[in-house]
């Protein structure tokens, strides 16, 4: 065997190896970990990239890699393959496609399908108002406890509208109304000059408390659960509180005779009506858990806490009126619990 023949064999082998390398390493796949795979891309689907690669024995092996593991790929312009069953003969930058796909997915995920949201809530209410000052002169404590229970427990309803900027955030307004009332007859005790002994008398009292609240509302919502059917919603609403306390009753009145032969005081029953009004600011915090009835309707359980205190008041009793400030702020905060119904639309 001559040297010329051996040299020819070596050159032929080198040519074959270079040809094989150029044939099966003309494309590149770059992974998320910045590893480079020299190969020949065969086809691309929505989930995987299929490629061929020569092993150490110069045997062509077919492989594939998940598209989620790929950062980008470069394909030779002459490598005419099918992408999603469609032929192409252009370079294809997977990074651009991936980022575009992620952007579209993000827009679809966070852009709401229905941008308008109406909410209705109805249920019970507990008020933290303190009416203990009137207990001192009431003889029957049980009757007072019964009266207080009705004053501090009532009914509430609210309505809100939000414009959803994203699926998780919305901006709108909220209106809230609550009512509580009580009616009872009490036995009072008093000392009346010049009578030496205590006098017991009955008083009829019918009290009604109304609270209105309205303000700018911020809404936050998230879907939870494996199937993301349940939804948690939080609301934050600063606004104004309009408080009104009306009392109608019959109380013991008196008239003192100074010019009679013997100074005396005459007692009699008379109407005793009064009203107290105040306007202040407050903050309403809401939380609800909802389940979809349809794509647009949701139903769930809700709770709200309205924080507010009054200081400046307007008080009227008969012909007597008074505008002023209380010695200390009175707590008129409320806790609302009930059922919520939501409707989404465009």
- pLDDT tens column, 143-165: 777 888 888 999 999 999 999 99
Separation of alpha carbons 318 and 320, rounded Å = 5
Assess whether pLDDT exceeds 50 at residue 196.
no
List the structure tokens of 200. Answer: 């017991």
Residue 107: what pLDDT?
Answer: 57
Residue 75: what pLDDT?
Answer: 79
Residue 341: what pLDDT?
Answer: 97
Separation of alpha carbons 82 and 90, rounded Å = 11
Separation of alpha carbons 279 and 57, rounded Å = 88
Separation of alpha carbons 93 and 170, rounded Å = 37
Class of domain 111-345: mainly beta
Residue 259: what pLDDT?
Answer: 53
Average pLDDT score, the chain: 80
Chain-centroid distance of CA 89 in Å reads 51
Q: Tell me yes or no: is domain 12-101 CATH 1.10.238.
A: no
Phi, psi of 145 (to 5 degrees): -60, -40
Phi, psi of 135 (to 5 degrees): -75, -25
Which pLDDT band holds residue 88 (cuts at 50, 70, 90)? very low
* Residue 291: closest CA among 252, 259, 335, 339: 339
Separation of alpha carbons 307 and 101, rounded Å = 46
Which of 162-166, 266-270, 303-307 bottoms out in mean pLDDT, i.e. has the lowest? Answer: 266-270
Domain boundaries for CATH 2.30.30 within the chain: 12-101
Separation of alpha carbons 193 and 279, rounded Å = 40
Phi, psi of 315 (to 5 degrees): -125, 135
Separation of alpha carbons 81 and 90, rounded Å = 9
* Residue 189: closest CA among 251, 250, 253, 138: 138
Strands 81-83 and 36-44: parallel
Which pLDDT band holds residue 87 (cuts at 50, 70, 90)? very low
Distance set, CA 202 to CA 127, 140, 246, 270, 319 (Å): 27, 11, 20, 12, 23
List the structure tokens of 218. Answer: 């911020």
Separation of alpha carbons 231 and 128, rounded Å = 30
Assess whether pLDDT exceeds 50 at residue 90.
no
- pLDDT tens column, 19-71: 554 544 478 888 988 888 888 888 887 788 889 888 888 888 889 998 888 88
List the structure tokens of 227. Answer: 């199937």
* Residue 303: closest CA among 171, 86, 122: 122
Domain boundaries for CATH 2.40.160.20 within the chain: 111-345
Query: CB within 8 A of 139, min separation 6: which ones?
Result: 186, 187, 188, 189, 200
Q: Which residue has the tokens 């190896």?
A: 17
């Amino acid at each position: 065997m001559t040297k010329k023949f051996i040299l020819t064999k070596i050159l032929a082998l080198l040519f074959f190896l270079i040809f094989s390398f150029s044939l099966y390493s003309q494309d590149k796949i770059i992974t998320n970990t910045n590893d480079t795979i020299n190969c020949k891309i065969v086809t691309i689907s929505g989930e995987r990239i299929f490629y061929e690669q020569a092993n150490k024995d110069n045997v062509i092996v077919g492989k594939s890699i998940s598209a989620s593991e790929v950062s980008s790929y470069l394909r030779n312009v002459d490598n005419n393959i099918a992408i999603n069953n469609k032929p192409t003969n252009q370079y294809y930058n997977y990074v651009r496609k991936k980022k575009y796909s992620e952007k579209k997915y993000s827009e679809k995920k966070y852009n709401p399908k229905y941008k308008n949201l109406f909410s209705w809530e109805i249920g019970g209410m507990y008020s933290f108002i303190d009416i203990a000052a009137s207990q001192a002169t009431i003889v029957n404590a049980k009757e007072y406890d019964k009266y207080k229970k009705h004053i501090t427990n009532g009914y509430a309803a609210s309505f809100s509208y939000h414009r959803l900027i994203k699926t998780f955030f919305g901006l709108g307004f909220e209106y809230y109304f609550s009512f509580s009332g009580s009616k009872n007859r009490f036995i009072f005790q008093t000392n009346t000059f010049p009578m030496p002994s205590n006098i017991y008398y009955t008083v009829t009292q019918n009290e009604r408390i109304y609270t209105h609240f309205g303000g700018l509302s911020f809404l936050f919502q998230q879907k939870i659960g494996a199937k993301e059917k349940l939804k948690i919603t939080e609301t934050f609403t600063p606004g104004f509180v309009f408080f009104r306390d009306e009392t109608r009753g019959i109380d013991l009145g008196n008239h003192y005779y100074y010019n009679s032969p013997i100074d005396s005081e005459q007692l009699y029953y008379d109407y005793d009506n009064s009203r107290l009004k105040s306007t202040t600011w407050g903050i309403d915090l809401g939380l609800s858990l909802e389940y979809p009835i349809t794509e647009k309707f949701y139903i769930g359980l809700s709770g709200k806490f309205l924080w507010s205190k009054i200081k400046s008041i307007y008080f009227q009793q008969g012909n007597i009126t008074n505008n002023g400030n209380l010695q200390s702020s009175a707590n008129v905060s409320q806790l609302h619990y009930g059922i919520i119904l939501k409707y989404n639309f465009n």
